[in-house]
Structure 1
């Protein structure tokens, strides 16, 4: 059995992705900063018949992130899929004229350094398997900069550029890299923004290596 590692696992999108990929035969590693949170989520998934475990990791702490991914691979099996979608912190969501250097440094640690660290940890295992997927989920500012949320707009631009370069570089190795853009809020029961629907879009990216970016729905017009 191989593993999907979900970084930023929560009870919305993260749980839906866990259930979708778990139903397709993957073991599930759940990563977030709070060990109790991921332990509780893992218990729910295990109760549904999935093989899931939780690991505490801070995406802004490379040592904790690499250690958690290493433990997950040892416990559950090699990581074939990495899904990166931690929720941005409030200081990343300030208007551009209120955003400080410290805010940007934190946002870039979160959305650029974190993915680079995670990919560096899991890529050797994917190469050994001869396959893999690296999947990113971002809000609308990942595709269109929004001056109301400057930190994420700047950091997501870097994340998207990194992901696009990975997509182009790793395609020849059967390692897919894709990005799901989710304009607006995730809403249970919504026809396009329900967590299960979004998990299906990530599964689509995993199974369609020719595609890089998909959208949950159309981006709203620019203001």
Structure 2
């Protein structure tokens, strides 16, 4: 049995993706900062017949990320799929003229250093498996910068560039790197933005291994 690792796991999208992949026979590693949250979600999934366990990590702490992924692989099985979807902090989203250099440290650690750390931790195992998938989840500011969310706009652009480079470099090895853009956030009354629908989209990104970027909906809707 191989493992799906969800970084930034929570009761919404994370839970829906865990159920979707769990139904396909994956073990699920739930990774987030809050131990109680991931343990409670793991218990719920286990009661539903899905093999799941919680692990703690802060994506701005590279050592904790590496440790969580290593423990997940040892406990649940080799990691075949990673979803990188932690929720950005509100303080990352300042207007552009109020943003100073120090305000960008957190967003860059969160959206660039974190993904680079995760990729280097899981790619060797995916090579051993003969393939795998890394999916980055972002909002619209990853492709259309917003003047009131400067930190995430800048950092998501770096994350997007890194993910695109990974996609191009790893495709010949059977490792698919994709990005899902979710404009206007999860839920909100848009059927295409409901967690279960997005989970199906992420499953297709893994199985169909198509283009690098997928949009949950048009940016201007």
Normalising by the residue count of structure 2, what TM-score does the alignment of the two structures yield? 0.97
SS in 1 for 2:88: coil
How far did residue 20 of structure 1 move? 0.7
CA–CA distance in structure 1, aligned partners of residues 185 and 160 of structure 2: 19
Deviations 1:85-104 (A, max 9, x none): 00000111111111222221
Contact 1:133 1:176 in 2 (8 A): yes
Is 1:218 the counterpart of 2:187? The answer is no
Q: For each residue in 1:198-219, what CA deviation from the matched residue of structure 2 results, as whole angstroms up to 9, or x when unmatched? A: 1111111111223111111000
- Runs of 4+ in structure 1 off by over 2 angstroms are none
Alpha-carbon RMSD across the aligned residues, in angstroms, is: 1.1
Give how far 1:189 is off.
5.9
Q: Name the counterpart of 1:73.
A: 73
Residue number in structure 2 paired with 1:176 = 176
Aligned-residue offset at 1:42: 0.5
2:196 matches 1:196: yes
Q: Deviations over 1:20-41 (max 9, x none)?
A: 1111110000000011110011
Matches of 1:62 and 1:142, distance apart in 2? 22
List gaps (5 residues or longer) in structure 1. Answer: none
Distance, in Å, in 2 between the alignment partners of 1:147 and 1:33 is: 29
Q: How far does the alpha carbon of each residue in 1:161-193 deviate from its partner, in whole angstroms, 9 at most, with x for none? A: 000000000000000000000000211763111
Counterpart for residue 132 of structure 1: 132
Query: Across the two proteins, how many residue pairs are aligned to each other?
Result: 221
Where structure 2 has 5 or more consecutive residues not aligned to the other structure, the ranges are none
Match of 2:116 in 1: 116
Match of 1:220, SS state, is coil
- 1:12 maps to which residue? 12
